Structure 1
Amino acid sequence: MLDRRTFLVSALASTALTSTLFAQTNGQDPLRFYNYNLASAGIGADATRKMLDAFAEAHPETTVEGVPVAVSELMGRIQADMVAGIGPDVAQFAFSGLAYARDYLGAVALEDAVPQEELDAHLSGMVANGVRLGQLDGKTYGLAYVFSTPVLFYNADLFRAAGLDPDSPPTNWEEVHAAAIAIHQATGKPGLLTGIFGNTAGDWLFQGVIRSAGGRVLSEDRRTLMFAEPEALEALETLRAIAQTGAFEAAFDFAAIEAMAAGNGGMYLQTSAVQNTLLRGATDNWELRATTMPSFGDRPVRPTNSGSALVLMTRDPERQRAAWDLMRFLTSDWAYTVITSEIGYLPLRPNAISSEEFLAPWIRENPLILPNLAQLERLEPAMPHAGPNYSQIVQTMMNAAERAVFGPSDDIAGIMGDAQRRAQALMPA
């Protein structure tokens, strides 16, 4: 379907992932593109290779070396390679690392490298909430790339087995609690899994849960941590109450994805990027459905985002020109057709969503994307933590939150208060 709609000559066949991947070789120093999707197994890497192959077809004058780097290793790898004089020209940064890229790695604002009319024309075709995620202090340091909001996936077969109506999925956490217990009691399987916790989780989904409870993890000026405030504690108490029933299982990262894909979970709150993995597991085995993130009572849901931005790193004007061509291509209508239909991330260009040439036919055939699209209007950007210790701050907070929900102690206020004091000491003065 995509090949018939592409404005390019058909993309080349994907090649096997090695330590580096070359989109084209023409004897010149290639653009170095650090990409964490290339470091993954399966659909994320396959779709990225497809886009780089297509870029090589459209821009034979430019060579791109796609460098697979796991997101957890990105900062250290960039710092080491910059010291060695072989740093990236473009890098895929998680939004949480954008401020660090600007303040400590020399990321270049697009306004300082790209003709303003070209930048304005490209950004005007993107979802405004997505564009905003890449901006710091009035300048664009990241071009929103792969992106999603939290989706509550659910197993319609387990809903039926528990006497629940899959056409009326939970809309708030009270209903999630009740449904999780019913599924667990009827089937013995966990009623709820989430992507909130785990080694690869970060804090983007946690921020959305806390914001939906009326709290926040960080002050607006990014100076003061707030994850031990009453609203945050209320959200954690809600999650702990479900965990205490045995219906909310402490399965994280790939274990949670594999359990849900195998049909062994009732509900799974996670990024839409796992959609195609879940679909592969569900096809001909069980019925996968999706709905929006649950609310806390009648308070508005405030979904935050996961995902990443493309960040310009080179300061060489000629390489900046080529890098901008790559960044524009990877955030084009055609590229978002690949990103959405083959990975599961949100399309950040309205024309790609509505156009019969791009995603409109696929969306009609794949309604699982609709809850994710609906949340774009309510999106609140996940806030990046400040300073060089941002990663340790997030880890301190998330380790405490996991203990508060699944640990033996009921002293949630004590656990989170202690963690907040320790994490605040890591914040910039």
Structure 2
Amino acid sequence: MKLINKFTLWYICITLTAMLVGFVIAYHKVKSGIDQGEINRLKAKNDQMALQMRKGVSPDTYMRGRPVEIKLLENEVPLTKYDVYEHTFFNTMLQQKECRLTVKSFYNINGRHYSISSYNYVTKANEIFKGLFSSFIWIFAILLTLTVLSARFVSRLILAPFHHTMKKVRAFNLKDRKPLLLPTASASELKTLNSFLNSMTDKALDDYRSLKEFTENASHELQTPLAVLRNKLELLTESYLQGKEPDSIVPLIADMQNEIDKLSRINSSLTLLARLENNEFENRQSISMSQLITDALQSFSELLDMKSIALQTHISAGVTVQLHPALTDILLGNLLSNAIRHNVEGGQINILLSKSRLVISNTGLPPEVPTNQLFRRFKKGSRNSNSIGIGLAIVKQICDINHFDIQYDYAEGWHIMQIIFEESTENLSLLREEISTLLPEKQY
């Protein structure tokens, strides 16, 4: 059933209910109004006759030609001033039912008690019912006809923007990569719907582009280690068949192991990204960032010594952030491993931690792509890098779900990574002075 038909049916049901209730009310109001008007008129007639009798005028002169009955009360006088009687009977002359309304009033006239009764014929209840019911049928028929006819016109006029929106939505295709661009509607409900559909389709387009790029990059990244494994297996098979020495086979097995480790890292990283996007790390705790950075640097000390990298730190004590414990380890591990992996032999790493931010800078070769693109999946700063290109994408995702701001810059041989936990309420001049002792002056 169409929406306009549902509205029409609902409106007709409400109207029918209201008219039925109004019919009952009108019937009782009209009947009581007619009866009360006649009762008042008969009471006035009785009062007028009693007044004439008090003046000494003979009631015969007033009763002549009038349906009035006067009786002298010998027994106990009723307490009420008047009684009303309604009597329905069949009129043989007119061959129909008649309704007679009688009003009997009681008076004390010159020390004697009288009852004066007068009557008249009033409209019967069934006649009132027939008249009202006939009017009700005509009014409802006219209202129903106008509602049904006007509903089609109103549907085309008022719901035209809705039909236009539905036509646009049906024609929308992600493969076209074109935004929906719905017009602004005048009705608030349609305006909300169009705004929601625009934002939803824009998000779908962004997700589609990201998914397509991710699929292509993932396929490319997975093909490389698989091709290497295939070649190494062929060489290993040939070496075995030719009966070569074990010493020549060991490097092949080592290379294969490295490629298997790379595949495992890609799988683990993609699984972690999926869990981050599904908000599976919502249990935040107050984490001591000062202690965790100190512990992480301790675990990376051997790698620093192997590449002869000098480390300089300025870690404020008592710095805490609201973060999931597992994500904190992943965040610091990726940042520190990147700073070591992409450093030069005999280079330097500087670390600054304050209440508002974490700054990690390291020497290294300039990236081959803009720094803002390195947060995308499978984007590498160098084509010859052994990295799988997902580490910074994981760091960016962790910062996004925890509402941290992350910035990456390269200047004068320094890679500078900043994670801003909150708007700084610290002494800015003091903070700049501390950063300047660790990082290039032109950046701060």
Query: TM-score per shorter chain, which class?
Result: under 0.3
Structure number with higher helix proportion: 2
TM-score computed with the length of structure 1 as normaliser: 0.22
TM-score computed with the length of structure 2 as normaliser: 0.22
Structure number with higher strand proportion: 2
Q: Which has the larger radius of gyration?
A: 2
